[in-house]
Amino acid sequence: MQRRHFIALTSVAAAATASNGWAANGDKYPSKAIRIVVPFPAGGGTDALARAVGQRLGTVLAQSVVIDNRGGANGLIGSEAVAKADPDGYSLLLTIASHTIAPAIYKKMPYNIDKDFAPVSLLAKYPYLLTVPATMPVNTFSEFVAYVKANPKRVSYASSGTGSGPHLGMELFAAAAGLDMVHVPYKGAAPANNDLAGGQVQAMLNNLLAASAMLRAKKIKVLAVTSAARSPALPDVPTVAESGYPGFEVDGWYGLFAPAGTPAPVVSQLHRSAVQAINAPDVMERLSGDGAIVVGSTPQEFAAFVVAEKTKWAAVAAKANVTVD
């Protein structure tokens, strides 16, 4: 009886210690620098957000936060690094919607997104913008749909790469509207936008950050946004849903993950700290520049969101026959 009582007291003490931020080895978490892996090159939108969040997260946690850019293979290389990292809370992944698209399009994956990651928080969501060249003879969403239907296989759309959110988002829209367009993948949003402005391609699902320079120069125009509600950054632009396709919703997003097996108290602390970080005025300003809205979901809510996104994109990829070797 005494031994059982001792074990019970020990368990309670351990749980209390963990809830106060102590790691299993007795060190208070965090006791050293935290690494946030961004699975894309430096200088992009995800990198810029990660640096803003990382700086604030470091302030909240009173510890250094280092951004580690590991681009390549549409995010697979950096994501694999975190999937195989020690589950101690010191290696994190800040990534985007392509994370949940990858399992649907790659024949071989170096990790399992269901088993190798612990969701921390859905940090923010942002709409895609249906953009066309300024010279294109359409000015509304319905006119665009009519134009494409009148020109089957003659309208091409750009994306930042095969399997990206803008690629499969456009495939989902094309299926909903019964459109027959040609996909032209680019290595990033910048060259895609250059060709969009020049009229070499006729449409693209953009984000506000990538499209802003071309929009200001009036070289491209926005016909609709893909979010469920209108974007606060573009309140006069209608949604796809209110333009004749109720229920249509495609969002870009930023999410934070830890390796699977990271202690639950550490994940909880990271969640609370990340929510504080993204609600800091400078980080919110950075997010608004991308037309994004802060979410800050719980780990459980984010886990459910990941499952729903993975299921949705698997169906879209299968219908459009999108695969990458």
As separate numbers, helices (DSSP H) first and strands (DSSP E) second, the chain gives 11, 11
The angle formed by the CA atoms of residues 224, 228 and 232, to the nearest 5 degrees, is 70
Q: What pLDDT does residue 300 have?
A: 98
Tell me, yes or no, whether 122 lies in a domain: yes
Domain of 105 in residue numbering reads as 29-126+251-320
255 and 199 fall within a common domain: no
Tell me, yes or no, whether 314 lies in a domain: yes
Q: What pLDDT does residue 14 have?
A: 38
What is the distance between the alpha carbons of residues 52 and 59, in angstroms, rounded to a whole number?
Answer: 11
Tell me, yes or no, whether 39 lies in a domain: yes
Tell me, yes or no, whether 202 lies in a domain: yes
DSSP state of 180: -
Contact 148, 181 (CB under 8 A): yes
108 and 190 fall within a common domain: no
What is the distance between the alpha carbons of residues 154 and 180, in angstroms, rounded to a whole number?
Answer: 8
The domain that holds 190 is classified in CATH as 3.40.190.10
40 and 184 fall within a common domain: no
111 and 255 fall within a common domain: yes
Q: Residue 273 has which token pair?
A: 């700290």
The domain that holds 57 is classified in CATH as 3.40.190.150
Contact 227, 219 (CB under 8 A): no
155 and 231 fall within a common domain: yes
**Number of domains into which the chain is organized:** 2
For the chain, which ranges sit under pLDDT 50?
Answer: 1-20, 22, 24
In Å, how far are 53, 247, 297, 299, 301 from 304, measured between CA atoms? Answer: 23, 19, 10, 9, 5
- The predicted model scores a pTM of 0.87
Tell me, yes or no, whether 44 lies in a domain: yes
Looking at 243, 265, 282, the residue that finishes a domain is: 243
Contact 57, 65 (CB under 8 A): yes
Looking at 188, 223, 243, the residue that finishes a domain is: 243
**Which residue in the block uniquely carries the two structure tokens 């802003």?**
212
Looking at 212, 243, 274, the residue that finishes a domain is: 243
207 and 158 fall within a common domain: yes
What's phi and psi for 67, nearest 5 deg? -95, 125
304 and 256 fall within a common domain: yes
What is the distance between the alpha carbons of residues 171 and 246, in angstroms, rounded to a whole number?
Answer: 17
58 and 151 fall within a common domain: no
Tell me, yes or no, whether 7 lies in a domain: no
In Å, how far are 139, 210, 224 from 231, measured between CA atoms? Answer: 19, 16, 10
55 and 87 fall within a common domain: yes
**Type of residue numbered 227:** S
CA dihedral 78, 84, 85, 91 (to 10 degrees): 40
120 and 137 fall within a common domain: no
Tell me, yes or no, whether 280 lies in a domain: yes
CB-based contacts of 253, cutoff 8 Å, min separation 6: 96, 97, 122, 123, 124, 125, 126, 295
Q: What pLDDT does residue 133 have?
A: 98
Longest dimension (CA), the chain: 83
56 and 74 fall within a common domain: yes
Tell me, yes or no, whether 73 lies in a domain: yes
155 and 230 fall within a common domain: yes
